[in-house]
Chains A and B, each alone.
With several copies, the nearest count.
Chain A
Amino acid sequence: MNLLSVHDLAVSRGGLRAVEGVSFTLAAGRALILRGPNGIGKTTLLRTIAGLQPAVGGRIDLAEDAVAYAAHADGLKGQLSVAENLRFWARVFGGGGTRDALEAMNLKALAERPAAALSAGQKRRLGLARLLVTGRPLWVLDEPTVSLDSASVERFGAVIRAHLATGGAALMASHTDLGLNEARELDLTPFRARPGSPRRPASFNEAFA
């Protein structure tokens, strides 16, 4: 069963199409890594799939409330402790298992530390631990391993594999090697949007171009 299928998708940022004509499907248990040079539109694509912005063309099919999104900003509150941050998201998503999540990303020792007192990599680990408490099947991750040391990258790989093994799926954008050999890769370079007015303008910039 496909958790996500994308057909002829076009997305826009700042009023201009970034990539267009992107199609792929993601079945349960599969991972897909988006590749492409800086500025091609990976972040934009992921935000569109997460439902944070509308697509300007094509179709995205996915179940409601299936997506857990994680980006550069980890959504942490500096004044709350690591455990409190996690617990909050667990409550919001109706998930649970904050203890397992802390364990999985090696945050046990830091559980009572305010999030503001974490190092860059520790923050990122907490941001990833959040995924585990959402209980969502489709993870949409934007450069998930930034700032992580190699041990944590491995740990993250294990977490992803466990997620895939339990019927989840993951869509990621990254410039580095994630150590996930089983993941497919999709290079967005060929889908770079060509200038030229589309049929139905999506924004002021397109309407008056």
Chain B
Amino acid sequence: MSIWEYANPVKFMRLSDAILPWTVAGAAIFTIGGVLWGFLTPQDYRQGATVKIIFLHVPSAMMAINIWVMMLVTSLIWLIRRHHVSALAAKAAAPVGAVMTLIALATGAIWGQPMWGTWWEWDPRLTSFLVLFLFYIGYIALWSAIEDPDSAADLTGVLCLVGSVFALLSRYAVLFWNQGLHQGASLSVAPGERMSAVYRYPLYLSMLGFFLLFLALLLIRTRTEIRRRRLAALQARETRA
């Protein structure tokens, strides 16, 4: 059995058909459960109720990065092994990633208003996220601009490769750029170690929820994409004949 048979769109459809309901259900349960549990936690002594936004903010921020990594991997699979479903998965993931980035940015901004007194600060971490968002929309725009699906898949794949390198590079450049003005520990909440279990467990839960949410959306969007390609292919064949 060659690698191609294994990566067959029909097989993918069958497999995804089987696991999709479970993923959707898991996503619903864990996301809603995690966020709700988070909202029922006691108020932080320093930040008050605003801390609760962390249950949206951190999972979405993590997913935003992870989705780009996943796109890089699937793009590579497409470029090297010409696995069509893989290219479509990358295409399907991009808008989800962009929305996750947007959620992270928006919740961050909403959080920043009470915490820092400003909606936006050119903090290295926030800036890196903005840059990541730029890469996402460039990638999406390129997909939508090219008509021919094969060229579009190839070109976006190349862009994803080069873009990944530069996204990483930008992150370091941004850190370099804004060293002096970096927000002190007094402003930004200290990471994990000071976070008590009260917050940690609901956070883990909503992280899992967000991951499942992404998986469900990815599967649904990839399936739609496959169906659309199938329709286009049949139509093209009909007019050619």
Contacts and interface: CB of A to CB of B under 8 A. Distances in A.
Contacts of A62: none
A208 B239 contact: no
B239 A14 contact: no
Interface string A160-201: 000000000000000000000000000000000001000011
Interface stretch (A111-119, A129-137, A140-148): A111-119
Contact of A204 (B233, B235, B241): B233
A12 to B, nearest CB: 10
A206 B233 contact: yes
A52 interface: no
Residues of A in contact with B, size category: 20 to 34
B148 A14 contact: yes
Contacts of B148: 14-15
Contacts of B125: none
Nearest to B83: A207
A114 B236 CA distance: 11
A16 B84 contact: no
B240 A16 contact: yes
A203 B153 CA distance: 10
Interface residues of B, number: 20
A109 B240 CA distance: 8
Given A15-B149, A79-B147, A195-B241, A208 B233 contact: yes
Contacts of B226: 208
Given A208-B84, A208-B230, A203 B237 contact: no
Nearest to A13: B240
B239 A205 contact: no
Nearest to B225: A208
Interface string B165-177: 0000000000000
B137 to A, nearest CB: 21
Given A109-B239, A116-B147, A195-B241, A205 B232 contact: yes
A110 B238 CA distance: 10
Contact of A200 (B4, B9, B232, B241): B4
A151 interface: no
B200 interface: no
Contact of B149 (A109, A117, A200, A205): A205
A205 B238 CA distance: 12
B239 A113 contact: yes
B11 to A, nearest CB: 12
Interface in B208-241: 226, 229-230, 232-237, 239-241
A86 to B, nearest CB: 16
Given A109-B239, A204-B233, A208-B233, A15 B9 contact: no
A206 B234 CA distance: 9
B150 interface: yes
B84 A204 contact: yes
B153 A204 contact: yes
A79 B148 CA distance: 11
A209 interface: yes
Given A203-B150, A208-B230, A209-B230, A195 B237 contact: yes
Contacts of B150: 15, 203-204
A114 B233 CA distance: 14
Contacts of B229: 204-205, 207-208
B147 A209 contact: no
Given A205-B229, A207-B9, 8 more contacts: A16-B236, A109-B239, A110-B239, A114-B147, A195-B240, A205-B232, A208-B226, A208-B229
7 contacts: A195-B240, A207-B9, A208-B226, A208-B230, A208-B233, A209-B233, A209-B236
The list of the 3 closest CB pairs from A to B, nearest first, reads: A209-B233, A204-B149, A205-B233
